Amino acid sequence: MVSPNTPETPGDAAAPSAAPRSIHDVVIRLAGNSQDGIQSVGGFLARLAGRSDQDVMTYMTIPSTISGGPSIFQVRMGTGDILSSGDRADILVAFYQHSYDAHISSLRPGGVLLYDSDHVTPVEGDNRFTQIAVPITSGTVEAVGGAGKDKGKNIYILGLIARVFDLDVQKLAALIKERFGGKNEDIVRNAMLAFDAGYAWPQNNLHDLFYRFEAIDLATRASGRPQVTMDGNQALAYGLLAAGVRHGAGYPITPWSSIMETLRTELPKYGGLFVQCEDEIAAISTAIGFSYTGHLAITGSSGPGLSLKMEALGWATMAEMPLIVVNVQRGGPSTGMPTNVEQSDLLQAIYGSHGDTPRVVLSPKNVEDCFYIAMEACRIARTYSTPVIILSDMALASRIEAFDEPDFPKLMVDPKADLSDRGADFKPYPLDAITRHAPPGSKIGSGKYPTVTGLEHDELGHPTGSSKLHTQMTAKRREKIKKLGASLPAPELNGDAAGDVLLVTWGSTWGPALEALKRINTAGVTGGHLHLRHIHPLPDGLEDIFNRYRKIVVAEINDEGLYGFGQLAMMLRARYANPAIVSVTKTDGLTFKISEIVAGVARQLQSAHLDATLSVAQPSALAKK
Partner 1 sequence: MSSPTLFSPPTPAITTAVPLTKKILTADHPTWCPGCGDFAVLASFYRVLEKLQYPHEKIVTFAGIGCSSRFPYFVNTHGGHYIHGRALPFAAGISLGNDDLHVFVFGGDGDGFSIGGNHLVHTARKNVNLTYVIMDNSVYGLTKKQTSPTSPIGFKTKTDPTGAIDQPINPMRTLLNTGATFVARSHATQVNHMVEMMTRAAKHPGFSVVEILSECVEFYAGAFDSSIPRKGGTWSLIQEKKHDGTPEDADRHDVTDEVAAFKLAGQAWPGSFGVFYENNVRKTKNVLEAELVTKARERTKNATDLQLLQATFAKMR
**Residue 427 to residues 385, 441, 442, 458, 461, Cα–Cα distance (Å):** 14, 16, 13, 9, 8
Residues 6+ apart with CB under 8 A from 423: 445
Contact segment (CB under 8 A) with partner 1 among 201-209, 289-297, 326-334, 567-575 equals 289-297
CA 24 to chain centre: 23
> Do 252 and 303 meet the contact criterion of CB atoms below 8 Å apart?
no
User: What is the pairing mode between strands 247-250 and 273-276?
Assistant: parallel
Contact between 355 and partner 1 per CB under 8 A? no
Cβ nearer to partner 1, comparing 276 with 472 = 276
Residue 487: half-sphere exposure toward Cβ, Cα within 13 Å? 11
Contact segment (CB under 8 A) with partner 1 among 15-23, 75-83, 307-315, 503-511 equals 307-315
Cβ nearer to partner 1, comparing 285 with 344 = 285
**Minimal distance in Å, beta carbon 373 to partner 1?**
17
Residues in the chain: 625
Which 233-262 positions form the footprint of partner 1 (CB under 8 A)?
Answer: 234, 238, 241-242, 246-247, 249
Which 93-152 positions form the footprint of partner 1 (CB under 8 A)?
Answer: none
Contact between 174 and partner 1 per CB under 8 A? no
Contact between 198 and partner 1 per CB under 8 A? no
**Cα(345)–Cα(329) distance, integer angstroms:** 7
> Do 362 and 379 meet the contact criterion of CB atoms below 8 Å apart?
no
> Do 620 and 371 meet the contact criterion of CB atoms below 8 Å apart?
no
**Minimal distance in Å, beta carbon 272 to partner 1?**
7
**Minimal distance in Å, beta carbon 308 to partner 1?**
11
| Residue 487, phi then psi, degrees to nearest 5 | -90, -5
Contact between 421 and partner 1 per CB under 8 A? yes
Q: What single-letter DSSP state applies at residue 420?
A: P
Cβ nearer to partner 1, comparing 93 with 310 = 310
Contact segment (CB under 8 A) with partner 1 among 72-80, 137-145, 406-414, 563-571 equals 406-414
Which 215-234 positions form the footprint of partner 1 (CB under 8 A)?
Answer: 226-230, 234
Q: Is the dihedral of CA 107, 529, 56, 81 positive or negative?
A: positive
Contact segment (CB under 8 A) with partner 1 among 330-338, 405-413, 464-472, 531-539 equals 405-413
Contact between 319 and partner 1 per CB under 8 A? yes
Cβ nearer to partner 1, comparing 160 with 323 = 323
Contact between 168 and partner 1 per CB under 8 A? no
Question: Residue 231: enclosing H or E segment and its boundaries?
Answer: strand 227-231
Cβ nearer to partner 1, comparing 107 with 175 = 175
- Determine which residue in the list 279, 492, 540, 543 makes contact with partner 1, applying CB under 8 A: 279
Contact segment (CB under 8 A) with partner 1 among 17-25, 201-209, 411-419, 531-539 equals 411-419
- Determine which residue in the list 38, 155, 288, 380 makes contact with partner 1, applying CB under 8 A: 288
- Determine which residue in the list 142, 166, 261, 311 makes contact with partner 1, applying CB under 8 A: 311
Contact segment (CB under 8 A) with partner 1 among 70-78, 99-107, 191-199, 419-427 equals 419-427
Which 12-51 positions form the footprint of partner 1 (CB under 8 A)?
Answer: 47, 50-51
Q: What is the four-CA torsion angle of 530, 531, 536, 539, rounded to 10 degrees? A: -50
- Determine which residue in the list 34, 61, 258, 286 makes contact with partner 1, applying CB under 8 A: 286
- Determine which residue in the list 68, 202, 268, 355 makes contact with partner 1, applying CB under 8 A: 268
Please work out the total of residues on this chain that contact partner 1, with binding judged by CB under 8 A. 74
Task: Count other Cβ atoms within 10 Å, centred on residue 555.
Answer: 26
Cβ nearer to partner 1, comparing 267 with 602 = 267
**Minimal distance in Å, beta carbon 293 to partner 1?**
3
**Minimal distance in Å, beta carbon 98 to partner 1?**
33
DSSP, collapsed to helix, strand or coil, labels residue 36 as helix
Question: Residue 486: enclosing H or E segment and its boundaries?
Answer: helix 467-487
Q: 487-492 long-range CB contacts below 8 Å, 24 or more apart?
A: 488/534, 488/537, 488/538, 488/539, 488/540, 489/539, 490/539, 490/540, 490/541, 491/530, 491/531, 491/532, 491/533, 491/534, 491/539, 491/542, 492/530, 492/531, 492/533
Buried b or exposed e, range 204-214, using 16+ CB within 10 angstroms: eebeebbbebe
**Minimal distance in Å, beta carbon 222 to partner 1?**
18
Query: Beta partners for 57?
Result: 76, 401
Which 434-493 positions form the footprint of partner 1 (CB under 8 A)?
Answer: 438-444, 447-455, 462-463
**Minimal distance in Å, beta carbon 403 to partner 1?**
10
CA 583 to chain centre: 23
